[in-house]
Amino acid sequence: MALPPAELDERLPEGEAPASRARRGPVPLLAGVVLVIVGQHEFADRTHSRLALVLWLAGLVLAAVSTRDTGADAQAEPIAGVAAPRTGWRSARTIVPALIALSSTITSWRVQHDGTVDPDRWALMPIWVVGVGCAALSVWQPVRGQLRGRLGAWWRTRRPELAWLAAFTGAAAALTLARLGSVPWTFNGDEGAFSVLSRKVLDGEVRNPFSVGYMSHPTLYNALQAATMSVAGETVFGARLISAILGTLSVPLAFVFTQRLLRSRRAGVVAATLLATFHVHLYWSRSALPNGASTFFVLLVLVLLDRASAHDRPIALVLAGISVGAAQYFYFSNRILILVVIAWVAATTLATRRARAGGAATARDFGARAALIAGGFVVAIAPLAAFYDVDRSALNARVNQISIFHDGWLHQHATASGTSVVGVVWHHLTRAAMLPFRTAPQGFFYRGGVPFVGWPIAVAAAVGLAIVMTRWSRPRWIGLSTAYWATVVGLALTTGPAETQRWVMAAPLVCIFAAVAVDAVATALTPTAPTPTTTMTTTTTRPSSLLRRRVVTAATGAFVAGASCWSLHFFFHDTHNVELYSDTNTEIAEHMAREIERTDPHATVYFSFRTPGVHSVDVLDPWTLDDAPPVLDGVTIFVAVPERTVELEVVQRWFPGGVRRDTTDGDGTILYTSFTVAPPAPSGSAAAAVSYG
Please choose, from the candidates 6, 71, 66, 3, the residue with its C-alpha nearest in 3D space to the C-alpha of residue 34.
Answer: 66
Does residue 583 register a pLDDT over 70? yes
What integer best gives the mean pLDDT of the chain?
86
Does residue 11 register a pLDDT over 80? no
Split at pLDDT 50, 70, 90, the class of 633 is: confident
Average pLDDT over residues 76-87: 75
Does residue 76 register a pLDDT over 60? no
- Element (DSSP H or E) covering residue 156: helix 147-177
Per-residue pLDDT, 73: 44
Q: How far apart are CA 508 and CA 275, in angstroms?
A: 6
Measured CA distances, 616 to 477, 572, 622, 635 (Å): 55, 35, 17, 12
The predicted-structure confidence for 381-401, as pLDDT tens digits, reads as follows 999 999 999 999 999 998 888
Q: How far apart are CA 2 and CA 495, in angstroms?
A: 43
Average pLDDT over residues 636-662: 86
Cβ 630 vs Cβ 662: under 8 Å:
no
Decide: helix, strand or coil at residue 628.
coil
Residues 6+ apart with CB under 8 A from 304: 316, 317, 319, 320, 323
Please choose, from the candidates 311, 352, 254, 269, the residue with its C-alpha nearest in 3D space to the C-alpha of residue 15.
Answer: 311
Q: How far apart are CA 663 and CA 598, in angstroms?
A: 14
- With 0-12 / 13-18 / 19 or more C-beta atoms within 10 angstroms meaning exposed / middle / buried, residue 358 is exposed
Under DSSP, the state recorded for 393 is: G
Half-sphere exposure of 117 (CA within 13 A, CB side): 0
Per-residue pLDDT, 45: 78
Measured CA distances, 464 to 29, 33, 492, 550, 562 (Å): 11, 10, 22, 23, 18
The predicted-structure confidence for 586-617, as pLDDT tens digits, reads as follows 777 777 777 777 776 555 333 333 334 445 66
Please choose, from the candidates 379, 404, 423, the residue with its C-alpha nearest in 3D space to the C-alpha of residue 494.
Answer: 404
Q: How far apart are CA 290 and CA 301, in angstroms?
A: 17
Per-residue pLDDT, 610: 38
Please choose, from the candidates 321, 326, 267, 348, the residue with its C-alpha nearest in 3D space to the C-alpha of residue 515.
Answer: 267
The predicted-structure confidence for 448-503, as pLDDT tens digits, reads as follows 889 999 988 999 999 999 999 999 989 999 999 999 999 999 999 999 889 999 99
Cβ 633 vs Cβ 683: under 8 Å:
yes
Q: How far apart are CA 190 and CA 492, in angstroms?
A: 22
Decide: helix, strand or coil at residue 299.
helix
Measured CA distances, 552 to 518, 521, 524, 528 (Å): 10, 9, 10, 13
The predicted-structure confidence for 145-187, as pLDDT tens digits, reads as follows 666 666 777 777 788 888 999 999 999 999 999 999 989 988 8
- With 0-12 / 13-18 / 19 or more C-beta atoms within 10 angstroms meaning exposed / middle / buried, residue 458 is buried
Average pLDDT over residues 666-672: 80
Distance of alpha carbon 550 from its chain centroid, rounded?
35
Where does residue 46 fall: left (phi above 0), alpha (psi -120 to 50 degrees), or beta otherwise?
left
Q: Where are the alpha helices (DSSP H) in 67-146?
A: 92-112, 124-137
The predicted-structure confidence for 288-331, as pLDDT tens digits, reads as follows 999 999 999 999 999 999 999 888 789 999 999 999 999 999 99
Strands 688-692 and 636-640: parallel
Per-residue pLDDT, 44: 83
CB atoms within 10 A of CB 30: 16
Per-residue pLDDT, 602: 58
Distance of alpha carbon 136 from its chain centroid, rounded?
25
Per-residue pLDDT, 77: 60
Per-residue pLDDT, 155: 76
Q: How far apart are CA 111 and CA 125, in angstroms?
A: 12
Per-residue pLDDT, 689: 54
Split at pLDDT 50, 70, 90, the class of 71 is: very low
Cβ 484 vs Cβ 336: under 8 Å:
no
Q: Residue 43: phi, psi to the nearest 5? A: -60, -45
Does residue 1 register a pLDDT over 60? no
pTM over 0.85? The answer is: yes
Does residue 530 register a pLDDT over 50? no
Concatenated DSSP letters of 458-513? HHHHHHHHHHHHTTTTSHHHHHHHHHHHHHHHHHHTBS-TTBGGG-TTHHHHHHHH
Average pLDDT over residues 33-42: 94
The predicted-structure confidence for 216-232, as pLDDT tens digits, reads as follows 999 999 999 999 999 99
Cβ 488 vs Cβ 439: under 8 Å:
no
Per-residue pLDDT, 605: 37
